[in-house]
Amino acid sequence: MIMKNIVFLLIFSMTLYCKVNYKESTLIEKKDYGYIVYAEDYYRLYSLPSYYQEYDLLKNIDFLERALNAPFDFVNRALTIIESEQSYDRYKDLMHMQFNYLITQNYIYIASLYDKKKYYFYNSQFKDDIAKSFEYAVFYYNLAKERWDITKEYATKVMKNKAKLDMDNLIDKAYKIALGEIDYAKTANRQLNHIEEILKQIENE
């Protein structure tokens, strides 16, 4: 079972990288005013159209993963005014929380594309396709749960650090995440239970 999961993950990862042209791109990319090297630059590339497709979501995840692996820009070019070293630590934790938050969210969105909300008796002729689609949904929901654990860790660090930082919307989000008012793990678990119920329904036909 473990070997089967590893093989599935490798094949799936190769597919994901191909979809976002990962191998054709480099960590440093040209932009109008220079080169993309900093976390803030990749964050600015994030966008979610009203009618998104899987490619849009995978592209966002790729940008955000690059942001997590990239250094932050110089302090005087941060997304807000930084007045102390403690504020800068809080800023970096807050941005890493936001990157992971958005990655989690995009995983949930992708999973929902493979998730089937209802199963009717006339869907039985497609049950094999539905079951296969659920495999992808489960995979993405579990990735979302793993990423959410990281998001919560950063949110807790932001909440404990009381340094002044003029990023009220994100700080408010951090508090809600740390206190459990926002919880994507619950969303993922709810949908995973829903999928399990439908799979049992398919098996009992």
Summarised one tens digit per residue, pLDDT across range 138-194 is 999 999 999 999 999 999 999 999 999 999 999 999 999 999 999 999 999 999 999
pLDDT for 16 beyond 70: no
Between CA 48 and CA 62 the distance in angstroms is 13
Between CA 103 and CA 20 the distance in angstroms is 15
Residue 31 pairs in a beta bridge with: 34
**Mean pLDDT calculated for residue range 110-116:** 89
pLDDT for 198 beyond 50: yes
Q: Which residues contact 60 (CB under 8 A, 6 or more apart)?
A: 46, 47, 48, 102, 106
Cα three-residue angle 150-104-111, rounded to 5 degrees: 140
DSSP3 helix / strand / coil % (the chain, rounded to 5): 70, 5, 25
Tally Cβ neighbours within 10 Å of residue 19: 14
Q: Which residues contact 79 (CB under 8 A, 6 or more apart)?
A: 40, 91, 95, 167
In the chain, where do the E strands start and end? 29-31, 34-36
Which 3 state secondary structure label does DSSP give 34?
A: strand
pLDDT for 135 beyond 80: yes
Between CA 54 and CA 62 the distance in angstroms is 12
